[in-house]
Amino acid sequence: MKALPPAWHGLRREWRLPELRTLAAALVLAVAALGAVASLGARVEQALLARAAEMLGGNLGVSTDYRNLPADFSAEAARLGLQQNRSANFPSMAFHGEASQLLDVLATDPAWPLRGHAQLAAGNGRVYDGHGPARGEVYLDQRALDALHLRIGDTLQFGGMPLRVAARLVQMPDGGELFALAPRAVVNLADAEAAGLLGAGSRASHRLLLAGAPAQIAAYARWAKAHLPGGARLITPTDVQQRLRFAFNRASTLLRLIALLSALLSGIAIALAARRYALRKIDEVALLRALGAPRRQVLGLLATRLGSIALAALAVGVLLALVLAALAWHLAQALLPQPAPPLSIAPALGAALAGLAVLLGFALPPLTRLASVPPQAVFRRSLGALRWRDRLLYLLPLPVALGLILAQGGGLKLSLGLGLSLIGVGAAAALISAALLALARHTAAHAHPALRIGLASLARRRGLSLLQSVALSLGLSALLLLAVVTPALLSQWQRELPPDTPNWFALNVQGAQRASFARQVAQAGGTELNMLPLVVGNLSTINGVPIAQQHFADAATRRWAEQTLRLSWSTQPPPGNSVVAGHWFSAQPRMAEVSVDRGWARRFGIKLGDTLGFQVGEQNLDARVTSLREVRWDSFRVNFFLLLDPAHGHSLAHNWLASFHLPPGQATRLQATSRALPNVSLIDVDSLLARLRGIVVQVGTALRWVLGFSLLAGALVLVAALTASARERRHEAALLRTLGADRRQLLLASIAEFAMLGAIAAFTGALGALATGQWLALNMLDLPHFIVPLRPLLLAMLVTVSVVTLLGLAGTHKLLSSSPLRILRQE
């Protein structure tokens, strides 16, 4: 406690030291960048979950096949105060007069849907949000109405009982299932039970949907997971909406990366500033020690001073992070569902912790050496011998950086990759600089005298020069990485979702209808029409062994195997598909060939040359796996796990799947089409697309904000690196001046010095950005065709050299007009 009064006394004076201001600014930046991204990311995540919940119809679902859930599932939900909705899903026939139709039936209680909207149309065409039908009522979609020749108010026969058509089903939460194959009907659950459709032997899958506060939902999920009977599974909103997730994951990886690099840049600036602070304080500390202050007291004094500055900086950083997150959220509001999830300060506080780690990791090494300054340093200014313990301490930033990357949710691969590449850049910079400095030292003898002085002084301050060039290289590498990778990623996304991306799908187009369908779409103003053949069947055997006898790793895989399969064929690999193993189909293969998505193949352990048996209606087809494809599932195209060779595909019963673009709000123009081709079902995915675009726009905005942080952090590194030697340089220049160095000589000397420093930094920095950027694009951001653009990189190198040189010159220029004696007295 004794250390306190002098500590506070000195605080105001300390604050005037430029290196402490750099340190504080760097800390603020690190915390603000990490915090803003984390809290923004958390909110976007929540918003996406809310969206997905709307599509699922609840926050959580439990589903079982063929049998009802145990009653305690419902009891537990009631205990936790969750809303509940029971439903069952099954195919069933319906009759009206002479007409009959197989319907995809949802039998539900009136609570449906708990989240999202069920859009219904009344007889007069008015569209409204409704709930589950009352007993004796049924909702039918347009296809069902058409197939059964029904109108709203008519009565149909279902499971032996008459049901009145109460409304037309426009849209319903459907778990994100884009392609429902049969016409749909919604009936009351009690009616279905009364009709005996849910009894033993029925093919119904039962579902309990739940809605409530996140904490209760999480608690229920934990409970349910432990009590799930065989054949039952949990459905979470995260399972829904794969495409949104793909896009979001990539965006959040990049966002976190930027925040992280800003934090690391800040760390470098902090390390440089702390080192400079330590050097400045040597005399003071040595004197205190000589006057008899024990080490502990000196340490306490330093810790109090720095600690109070750090605390203030952390607080400002957290505040800034919250303000920025709130602001960014406000700007992106229109794109996201209301009400907005609450802004939580937990991520910002986490960022403060991370900031503290950065501070400790990067500032501790130089400062602990300061604490161990021996009293005899009063006579000879030095930090004392570098002991092994101190040397090891200098490695501290490494685990801190790795920890940061891991904590940012980057995963081990990203952490290791990024960490290794940063270490690589640092090591390369150190090696190259050391070599160039040695070279400079030798060639200096033959250089122009003024250049020689510059090069020589760079070479003579070897340790400091190395530090400067490593810091500059790392900073530059991080900045270039961001500057080069970010725009490429954004533009790639925008290319993926051009304005004429198909926003309508048509199912069940028969072969004979293709020409007239194309005509109809063109008349309605549709463009970009694309038709793909669609075969619906089942996987029956793998290498001759029936699915029922196969051993699968888990229940999920078995479910995948038993699911209805959609197959297509194509003469060329479709856009967004690339063959990664084997070869594309031969022209007229004797045996059927199939090309399999790599992920799908991995799930079933299928290799090239395996044989898959398919059952399509009454037909059976054995096909050999001749290629594996990498499929970009987040591109907004229709993709297939399995593609057949065209010759054999053609022989199977198939219809056509069409996609086309129609300007938004023009849906009514398709009415003629649905009247002319009643069997074709048209699906509007505009809202889904709009959501995807919204994410891209929002992420783009967020990226720019966060990129600003890293630019600032980069500038801080530059300033910190250049001012690291400012004191020495000022003294040196003043002395040279007393010895009669003229303006030209001083300027040339500093040009030689800084141009060299800038060149080393530019070279290794660019190299690092090139390598890391390529690696990131391929492995983390899924941009297979990304090539680091060379021209901006070269430009950036040039800019670096010029900026470093100019900044160095600016520092020298100030000295030229003042008298050298004054400068020497100031030291």
Q: Are 758 and 476 in contact (CB under 8 A)?
A: no
Closest contact distance (angstroms) between CB of 692 and other proteins is 59
Among 184, 206, 461, 629, binds other proteins (CB under 8 A): 461
DSSP string, 237-278: GGGS-HHHHHHHHHHHHHHHHHHHHHHHHHHHHHHHHHHHHH
Q: Among residues 687 and 818, whose Cβ is nearest to other proteins?
A: 818
CA distance 321 to 351: 9
Q: At what angle do helices 71-79 and 214-227 cross, to 10 degrees?
A: 150
DSSP string, 707-769: HHHHHHHHHHHHHHHHHHTHHHHHHHHHHHHHTT--HHHHHHHHHHHHHHHHHHHHHHHHHHH
Closest contact distance (angstroms) between CB of 738 and other proteins is 6
Beta bridge partners of 58: none
Among 67, 131, 460, 514, binds other proteins (CB under 8 A): 460
Interface positions, 706-745, toward other proteins (CB under 8 A):
728, 731-732, 735-743, 745
Closest contact distance (angstroms) between CB of 437 and other proteins is 13
Closest contact distance (angstroms) between CB of 460 and other proteins is 4
Nearest to 179 by CA among 642, 781, 662, 681: 681
CA distance 632 to 614: 25
Q: Which two tokens stand for residue 39?
A: 């809290």
Among 28, 251, 279, 453, binds other proteins (CB under 8 A): 453
Among 231, 449, 525, 575, binds other proteins (CB under 8 A): 449
Q: Among residues 263 and 453, whose Cβ is nearest to other proteins?
A: 453
Closest contact distance (angstroms) between CB of 322 and other proteins is 43
Closest contact distance (angstroms) between CB of 754 and other proteins is 16
**Locus of tokens 């984390």:** 38
CA distance 373 to 278: 10
Closest contact distance (angstroms) between CB of 746 and other proteins is 9
Closest contact distance (angstroms) between CB of 382 and other proteins is 7
| Dihedral pair phi/psi, residue 550, rounded to 5° | -75, 150
Among 22, 85, 433, 457, binds other proteins (CB under 8 A): 457
Nearest to 433 by CA among 763, 681, 706, 152: 763
Q: Are 779 and 413 in contact (CB under 8 A)?
A: yes
Closest contact distance (angstroms) between CB of 744 and other proteins is 9
Among 452, 648, 661, 691, binds other proteins (CB under 8 A): 452
Judging by DSSP bridges, how do beta strands 619-631 and 592-597 pair with one another? parallel
Closest contact distance (angstroms) between CB of 817 and other proteins is 6
- Stretch binding other proteins (CB under 8 A), from 115-123, 304-312, 426-434, 448-456: 448-456
- Stretch binding other proteins (CB under 8 A), from 52-60, 148-156, 190-198, 449-457: 449-457
Alpha-carbon distances of 604 from 308, 543, 553, 556, rounded to whole Å:
59, 12, 8, 11
Q: Among residues 63 and 457, whose Cβ is nearest to other proteins?
A: 457
Q: Among residues 187 and 279, whose Cβ is nearest to other proteins?
A: 279
Among 456, 489, 532, 804, binds other proteins (CB under 8 A): 456
Q: Which two tokens stand for residue 254?
A: 């990049």
String marking each residue 760-779 x if it binds other proteins according to CB under 8 A: --------------------
Residue 16 binds to other proteins (criterion: CB under 8 A): no
Q: Among residues 790 and 816, whose Cβ is nearest to other proteins?
A: 816
3-state secondary structure of 132: coil
Interface positions, 368-387, toward other proteins (CB under 8 A):
380-382
Q: Are 51 and 176 in contact (CB under 8 A)?
A: no
Closest contact distance (angstroms) between CB of 801 and other proteins is 24
Q: Among residues 402 and 453, whose Cβ is nearest to other proteins?
A: 453
**Locus of tokens 């007889």:** 123
- Stretch binding other proteins (CB under 8 A), from 168-176, 197-205, 450-458, 563-571: 450-458
Nearest to 457 by CA among 760, 748, 759: 748
Q: Which two tokens stand for residue 657?
A: 């799947």
Nearest to 706 by CA among 493, 492, 486, 489: 486
Closest contact distance (angstroms) between CB of 453 and other proteins is 6
Q: At what angle do helices 743-779 and 462-496 cross, to 10 degrees?
A: 40
- Stretch binding other proteins (CB under 8 A), from 47-55, 132-140, 674-682, 818-826: 818-826
For residue 791, count CB atoms less than 10 angstroms from its CB and return exposed for 0-12, middle for 13-18, buried for 19 or more: exposed
**Locus of tokens 């809310």:** 50
Q: How many residues bind other proteins (CB under 8 A)?
A: 31
Residue 607 binds to other proteins (criterion: CB under 8 A): no
Q: Among residues 180 and 287, whose Cβ is nearest to other proteins?
A: 287
Binding site for other proteins (CB under 8 A): 380-382, 449, 452-453, 456-457, 460-461, 728, 731-732, 735-743, 745, 816-822, 824
